[in-house]
């Protein structure tokens, strides 16, 4: 658990730079005056002395400061300022509270002598404070605390003999990282912050390193700029438990090593764009060390760099792409090569829009990719794969008197060729719909103005529609690194007719919809079962206490082999900002995967094998805001068919009344990683 996050936030470093003008201005402003019991004016308030020259000479900064003390006195000879009784000094986001302190100017800066408490919020009961015995303010932007104690709601959680806080514009050490990482055990580390400016633009590089108690180490680098972010992490833990990867032939020599790279950014010019994006998790250790289930479950590592030129609605792009299986050898690249593409989108006419992409390129194959391409595996012979890809979509809508008509179509395809064979992948969907919407508004002149301008409207719409989904993957891109379309094959024509009932207030985006339909599913080469009756239903809600969508379909066949059902649901019960239950379910039983996707309106290229396997998977979450200051949450994801827990998570969140500081503590467990990972995070609002 990263306890050091309390002091490592970049927002804290920004705020540290403001304590210098705060105390410095106070020292100058209250010079030689007798003891008073009133609020001292701000540095630039009307009536303040014109001491800007002295202020600039002593502190090099200007700012508006509010101070209060029951007694304020100044010893002109000793140059000591003394404040007593309910001392308050506010310069957001720093807020100093004390009963008695003295301020003395030294060669190192302003010395603050006396016990005080440094908070990050003006609210009473702020969760995070730092209690100190003495402080030295060294402008600009440096603060040294003696005997600081980090407290959360008055409970000490960390103590250091000294702590030096610096602005994020200066080189400085990062606070230590302390973590318990489930199966990996305890970890501790630290780092350095290296900022600079280039042409007036602020950038920063954070370098971190640390070690595991059981042996092994981590090296971490993070580069930030206004247009790009780069994170690189190397993790080595000898003898660590690593998952058995599904990719045969993955190198075992790097089982103890993991490499994570997440780099993305863009540079825009006049009609031109240079962009890059890398999402890489290498080595068995890299997959095992990640507590993020989505990252560990991705099948591919991808990296691309490209340049684009826009001319009207057309964008021309060229670049270089690399693709390889996630979790393999650290330096393995199974497929890489250049590509070029043309993209366009817009409106052809009223009610008709389109988008289109044409891409071509080549991939140099090696390692496992070349082995799969070989006629006699494992003949690992480097080869070159040439490919072309096209994707087009169109949407049209119009009316014929009282009848509303719409048509949508989307198709995508790959063609590829290499020395031994060639082939193609393709997928497409099309839908035509005719409806007769009958609407009635419920409004009253006795209601308030917003009720009259945004009344409840009830729409009943009989409709008829026909759709078809086709997918086939007989080309080599389906098994080699690239953008293979089809993990499933078949054609699913469907016709149906039914009625929909919707009531809502469209201005507030509140609506409840119920649709019921009956029709027929037609056989194809994948499902040669003739015509089968089907029933479909959908319920969706967008309301304050309820939200989500449930879609289900049932096909009646002549026997158990041709009868089946599919259901997809995502539900919220409770207000989006209150106590709520969140659930999601996807299930397929009996239906072939192409028909299941067609009946649930899945996309052409459905992600991560959606509905590709029979069975039920889902998740359940509960969020409980006990009070304004405390929110707890729990959640689980599971494969109900395999009776296997996929992931579990729990956490709580503490906030102060002004939302200045948020303290989060979370724990999680995921499949493929033993133990529980626990971490702590603190977020600061710097504008309070």
- What are the φ/ψ torsions at residue 372 (nearest 5 degrees)? -70, -30
Q: Distance between CA atoms of 440 and 457, rounded to whole angstroms?
A: 6
Q: Distance between CA atoms of 555 and 570, rounded to whole angstroms?
A: 22
Token pair belonging to 244: 């058995």
Query: Which residues lie below 8 Å from residue 270, measured CB to CB, with a gap of 6+?
Result: none
Mean pLDDT per 10-residue interval, the chain, length 688 residues? 34 39 36 33 35 35 59 74 80 74 76 81 70 76 78 79 75 80 86 85 90 91 91 89 50 75 90 93 87 81 93 93 87 88 90 92 76 50 77 92 91 75 79 93 62 81 91 62 57 91 87 94 65 91 90 82 84 90 89 77 55 82 87 92 88 78 82 81 60
- Select from 149, 143, 147, 138 the least CA-distant residue to 165: 143
- What are the φ/ψ torsions at residue 371 (nearest 5 degrees)? -65, -40
CB 483 within 8 A of CB 450: no
Which pLDDT score, from 0 to 100, does residue 84 have? 86
Which pLDDT score, from 0 to 100, does residue 476 have? 56
Using CA atoms, how far residue 175 sits from 21, 192, 207, in Å, is 24, 9, 12
CB 521 within 8 A of CB 492: yes
- Residue 384: enclosing H or E segment and its boundaries? strand 383-400
Q: Distance between CA atoms of 432 and 382, rounded to whole angstroms?
A: 46
Q: Where do the structural domains in the chain lie, given as residue ranges?
A: 18-166, 393-613, 621-688
> How many Cα atoms sit within 13 Å of 546 on the Cβ side?
8
- What are the φ/ψ torsions at residue 636 (nearest 5 degrees)? -140, 150
The verdict on whether omega for the bond into residue 140 sits within 30 degrees of 0, i.e. cis, is yes
| pTM beyond 0.75, yes or no | no
3-state secondary structure 583-620: EEEEEEECCCHHHHHHHCCCCCCCHHHCCCCCEEEEEE
- Select from 499, 678, 528, 501 the least CA-distant residue to 595: 528
Reduced to 3 states, what is the DSSP secondary structure of residue 286?
helix
Reduced to 3 states, what is the DSSP secondary structure of residue 87?
strand
The verdict on whether omega for the bond into residue 516 sits within 30 degrees of 0, i.e. cis, is no
Which pLDDT score, from 0 to 100, does residue 495 have? 92
CB 170 within 8 A of CB 143: no
Q: Distance between CA atoms of 231 and 685, rounded to whole angstroms?
A: 24
Architecture label for domain 18-166: Sandwich (2.60)
Give the largest Cα separation in the chain, rounded. Answer: 104
- Which of 128-166 are b and which e, b meaning 16 or more Cβ less than 10 Å from the residue's Cβ? bbbbbebbbbbbbbbbbbeebbbbbeeeeebeeeebebb
Task: Describe the chain by its helix, strand, coil percentages, rounded to 5.
Answer: 10, 60, 30
Token pair belonging to 560: 């158990």
């Amino acid at each position: 658990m990263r306890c050091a996050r309390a002091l490592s936030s970049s927002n804290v470093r920004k705020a540290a730079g403001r304590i210098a003008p705060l105390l410095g201005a106070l020292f100058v402003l209250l010079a030689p005056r007798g003891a008073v019991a009133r609020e001292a004016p701000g540095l630039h308030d009307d009536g303040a002395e014109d001491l800007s020259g002295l202020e600039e000479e002593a502190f090099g900064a200007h700012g508006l400061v509010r101070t209060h003390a029951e007694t304020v006195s100044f010893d002109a000879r000793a140059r000591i300022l003394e404040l007593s009784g309910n001392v308050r000094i506010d310069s957001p986001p720093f807020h100093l509270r004390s009963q008695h302190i003295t301020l003395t100017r030294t060669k190192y800066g302003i010395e603050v002598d006396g016990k005080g408490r440094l908070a990050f919020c003006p609210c009473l009961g702020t969760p995070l404070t730092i209690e100190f015995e003495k402080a030295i303010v060294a402008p600009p932007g440096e603060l040294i605390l003696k005997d600081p104690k980090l407290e959360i709601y008055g409970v000490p959680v960390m103590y250091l003999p000294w702590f030096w806080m610096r602005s994020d514009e200066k080189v400085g050490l990062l606070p230590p990282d302390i973590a318990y990482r489930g199966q990996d055990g305890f970890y501790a580390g630290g780092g350095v912050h290296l900022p600079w400016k280039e042409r007036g633009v602020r950038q920063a590089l954070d370098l971190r390193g640390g070690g595991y108690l059981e042996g092994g180490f981590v090296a971490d680098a993070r580069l930030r700029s206004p247009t790009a972010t780069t994170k690189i992490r190397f993790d080595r833990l000898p003898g660590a438990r690593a998952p058995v990867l599904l990719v045969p032939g993955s190198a075992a020599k790097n089982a103890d090593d993991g490499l994570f790279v997440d780099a993305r950014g863009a540079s825009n010019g006049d009609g031109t764009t240079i962009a890059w994006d890398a999402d890489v998790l290498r080595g068995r250790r890299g997959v095992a060390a990640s507590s993020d289930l989505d990252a560990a479950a991705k099948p591919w590592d991808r990296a691309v760099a490209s340049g684009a030129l826009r001319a009207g609605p057309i964008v021309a792009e060229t670049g270089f792409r690399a693709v390889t299986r996630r979790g393999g050898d650290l330096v393995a690249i199974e497929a890489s090569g250049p590509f070029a593409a043309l993209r366009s989108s817009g409106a052809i006419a009223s009610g008709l829009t389109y988008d289109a992409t044409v891409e071509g390129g080549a991939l140099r194959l090696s390692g496992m990719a070349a082995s799969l391409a070989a006629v006699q595996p494992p003949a690992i012979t480097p080869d070159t794969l040439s490919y072309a890809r096209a994707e087009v979509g169109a949407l049209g809508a119009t009316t014929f008197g009282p009848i509303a008509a719409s048509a949508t179509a989307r198709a995508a395809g790959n063609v590829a060729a290499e020395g031994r064979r060639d082939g193609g992948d393709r997928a497409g969907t099309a839908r035509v719909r005719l409806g007769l919407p009958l609407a009635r508004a419920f409004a009253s002149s006795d209601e308030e103005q917003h009720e009259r301008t945004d009344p409840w409207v009830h729409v009943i719409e009989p409709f008829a529609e026909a759709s078809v989904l086709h997918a086939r993957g007989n080309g080599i891109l389906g098994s080699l690194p690239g953008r293979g379309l089809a993990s499933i094959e078949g054609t699913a024509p469907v016709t149906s007719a039914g009625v929909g009932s919707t009531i809502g207030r469209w201005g507030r985006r509140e609506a409840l919809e119920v649709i019921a339909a009956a029709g027929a599913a037609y056989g194809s080469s994948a499902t040669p079962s003739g015509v089968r009756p089907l029933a479909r239903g959908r319920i969706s809600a967008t309301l304050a206490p309820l939200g989500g969508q449930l879609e289900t379909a049932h096909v009646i066949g002549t026997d158990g082999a041709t009868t089946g059902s599919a259901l997809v649901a995502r539900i919220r019960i409770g207000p989006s900002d209150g106590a709520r239950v969140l659930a999601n379910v996807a299930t397929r039983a009996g239906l072939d995967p192409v028909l299941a996707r067609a009946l649930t309106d899945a996309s052409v290229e459905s992600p991560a094998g959606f509905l590709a396997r029979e069975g039920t998977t889902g998740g359940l979450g509960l969020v409980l805001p006990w009070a304004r200051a405390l929110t707890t949450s729990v959640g689980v994801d599971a494969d109900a068919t395999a009776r296997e827990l996929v992931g579990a998570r729990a956490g709580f969140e503490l906030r102060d009344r002004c939302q200045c500081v948020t303290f989060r503590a979370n724990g999680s467990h995921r499949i493929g990683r033993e133990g529980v990972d626990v971490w702590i995070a603190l977020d600061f609002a710097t504008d309070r």
